[in-house]
Amino acid sequence: MSERPLVVETIRIVDPARKLDAVGTIVVENGVITAAGPDALNQGRPEGAMLIDGSGLTALPGLVDARVFIGEPGGEHRETIASASRAAAAGGVTSILTMPDTDPVIDDVAIAEFVMRTARDTALVNVFPAAALTKGLKGREMTEIGLLADAGVKAFTEGRKTLADPALMRRIMTYARDFGAVVMHETTDAALAGSGVINEGLYASWLGLPGIPGEAEIIPLERDLRLAALTGCRYHAAKISLGESAAVVANAKRRGLAVTAGVSINHLSLNENDVGQYRTYFHLSPPLRREEDRLAMVEALADGTVDVIVSSHDPQDADDKRRPFAEAEAGAIGLETLLPAALRLHHSGAVPLMRVVEAMTSAPAALLGLDQGTLKPGAPADLVLVDLDRPFVFTEDLIRSRSKNSAFENARFAGQVLRTIVAGRTVFEAAR
C-alpha cells in the first residue's frame, strides 16, 4: 500500500550523515525521501501531498537503537515486539536491534525469522534481531553466524552475558570476521563481579550492598580488544560505563582496530547516588558509576571515542523490581526517554546537537549496516519531528511500554517528539 506523499515545509533539518543543519523542506514519496534540505524549499510539491508546516520544529532521522531487550518470545508479560514498537515510536526511535536472550534464545534461523515475521505483522517500527554468539547463550558452541547473517541478522551478541572462555571468543571472532559479522559484547567478568549489584565504593559500603569493581568491566574488555587485534574482527563494545573503558577503546582505535563502542543513556545521565535508598529502578548492569565516570562518558561521546548511544531498554515487571535491591532484576526501560534524555546533553552545552544525534542515527546505522539513520534522498523515510525546547514531565501514565521500570520517572525534559514517521507513514503523533 503506498502512502500519500508527504511534504514537511520550513523545518530545521539535522542530518549528521550529511553534516547538514539548515532550514529546508523534506519530501517523501513511496516511503522514501526524495528531497531533504534547503534546496527543496519552494520547489512545489507532489500532487495530493500531505503538508506539514515545520516552523519552529526540527526534523531528525528516526533514531536507531542498537540495544533493546524485548520479552517476545517467552516473556510477553514484560514486553512484546508490538508494545516495544509503540514505545519506540513515541520516543522517536524508528529502528531497534533486539537482543537474543529471549526464550527460546535467538540462536538459529527459524527463531530469527519468527522475530522478523512477528515484527512485520505487529510492529510500528523497523525491528532487526541480533543473534546469540553461542547456542542457547551457553558459552560452548558458536551459532550459525553465516546462515543467520544471510537471514537478516544484523549483529551477534550474548545479550546481558559475557563470554568467559577466551579461546571460544577468539574462534568466534575469527569466524565472524570471515562473514563480516559484527560482534557486540557487553563485558562483565562474572567471577570478579561476584554477587555485586552496585558500583563498588563508599556509597555501596554504606548501603551494605556488595559492590562491582570497575575492573570487572575493564578486564574482559581489554581481553576482547586484544582478540580484536589478533583476529581483525569487527568488534563493538556494547555498553561501557567507565572512563577507563573509554581510554582503552580510544587506544584500540588509535591502533587502527575495527572497534566501536556504545554507552547507555543511563550512564550518560545518572550516577550511583541516584540509587538513593535502594531504588531498584536504578539497579542496572553495568551498575551506575561515580559522577567522574559519568562525566568521562559524556566526554567520550563528545570526542567520538564512544560512537553510539543506546537506550538499553530492558523491561522488568513490577514483581521482579519490588524486591530487596540485591534480589531485584537489573535493567530499566528507555525507548521513550532516549531522545529527551540525550537532548539534555545538547541543552547543557556538553555535547553539540549534531554529535548527539549522530550517535543515535547514522553511527548505529553504520554499525549495523542499515540504510536508515539519514535523511538523504533515497533513504527510507524514517524521521522524527521534534520541538527541541518544549518542556514536559515524563510521568508514569505516559509510559507505553508494557513494563514501567523507568529510571526517568517524573524527570523533566526539554524536547518533545511530535511526530514519528516510518517509511513515510506516521506511526506516532503527540497530542497537542
Partner 1 sequence: MIAPAQSLPTGRRHLIGIAGLSPQDITELLDLAEAEVAVSRQVEKKKSVLKGRTQINLFFEASTRTQASFELAGKRLGADVMNMSVASSSVKKGETLIDTAMTLNAMRPDLLVVRHHSAGAVALLAQKVACSVVNAGDGAHEHPTQALLDALTIRRHKGRIARLVVAICGDVLHSRVARSNILLLNALGAEVRVVAPSTLLPSGIDQMGVRVFRRMDEGLKGADVVMMLRLQRERMEGAFVPSVREYFRYFGLDAAKLAHAKPDALVMHPGPMNRGVEIASEIADGPASVIEEQVEMGVAVRMAVIEHLIGLSAEGNT
CA atoms within 13 A on the CB side of 302: 14
Write down the least CB distance from residue 282 to partner 1, Å.
12
Nearest residue (CB) to partner 1, 167 versus 191: 191
Write down the least CB distance from residue 327 to partner 1, Å.
6
Nearest residue (CB) to partner 1, 208 versus 349: 208
Nearest residue (CB) to partner 1, 199 versus 311: 199
Write down the least CB distance from residue 271 to partner 1, Å.
13
- Asked if residue 202 binds partner 1 (CB under 8 A), the reply is yes
Write down the least CB distance from residue 76 to partner 1, Å.
19
Q: Is the peptide bond before 104 cis (omega within 30 degrees of 0)?
A: yes
Q: Give CA–CA dist 281/152, Å, rounded.
A: 33
DSSP string, 14-29: EEGGGTEEEEEEEEEE
- Asked if residue 55 binds partner 1 (CB under 8 A), the reply is no
Residue 4, all three cell numbers: 500519500
Q: Give CA–CA dist 91/401, Å, rounded.
A: 11
Q: Three-state DSSP class for 270?
A: coil
Strand 411-422 and strand 425-429: the pairing is antiparallel
Nearest residue (CB) to partner 1, 16 versus 211: 211
Write down the least CB distance from residue 197 to partner 1, Å.
9
Write down the least CB distance from residue 425 to partner 1, Å.
43
Nearest residue (CB) to partner 1, 152 versus 213: 213
Q: How many CB atoms lie within 10 A of CB 273?
A: 12
H or E element in which residue 343 lies: helix 338-347
Backbone Cα Rg of the chain: 21
Q: Which of 208, 256, 349, 378 binds partner 1 (CB under 8 A)?
A: 208
Residue with cell 517500527: 125
Write down the least CB distance from residue 70 to partner 1, Å.
24
- Asked if residue 292 binds partner 1 (CB under 8 A), the reply is no
Q: Which of 1, 121, 167, 206 binds partner 1 (CB under 8 A)?
A: 206
Size of the site for partner 1 (CB under 8 A): 23
Q: Give CA–CA dist 147/165, Å, rounded.
A: 23
Q: Give CA–CA dist 257/224, Å, rounded.
A: 12
Q: Which of 77, 120, 255, 322 binds partner 1 (CB under 8 A)?
A: 322
Contact criterion met (CB below 8 Å) for 130 and 157 = yes
Write down the least CB distance from residue 223 to partner 1, Å.
24
* Angle between helix 243-254 and helix 291-303 axes, rounded to 10 deg: 30
Site for partner 1, residues 162 to 201, rule: CB under 8 A: 200-201
Q: Which of 38, 44, 74, 324 binds partner 1 (CB under 8 A)?
A: 324
Angle subtended at Cα 83 by Cα 82 and Cα 85, rounded to the nearest 5 degrees = 65
Nearest residue (CB) to partner 1, 39 versus 327: 327
* Nearest CA-CA partner of 294 in 226, 358, 241: 241
Nearest residue (CB) to partner 1, 323 versus 425: 323
Write down the least CB distance from residue 270 to partner 1, Å.
15
Nearest residue (CB) to partner 1, 19 versus 322: 322
Strand 155-157 and strand 411-422: the pairing is unpaired
Nearest residue (CB) to partner 1, 11 versus 270: 270
Nearest residue (CB) to partner 1, 76 versus 320: 320
Looking at 56-64, 167-175, 228-236, 321-329, which segment touches partner 1 (CB under 8 A)?
A: 321-329
Site for partner 1, residues 228 to 287, rule: CB under 8 A: 276-278
Q: Which of 53, 291, 319, 389 binds partner 1 (CB under 8 A)?
A: 319
* Nearest CA-CA partner of 303 in 257, 355, 268, 347: 355
* Nearest CA-CA partner of 393 in 410, 414, 406, 408: 410
Q: Which of 69, 128, 235, 325 binds partner 1 (CB under 8 A)?
A: 325
Interacting residue ranges for partner 1, rule: CB under 8 A: 200-211, 213, 276-278, 319, 322-327
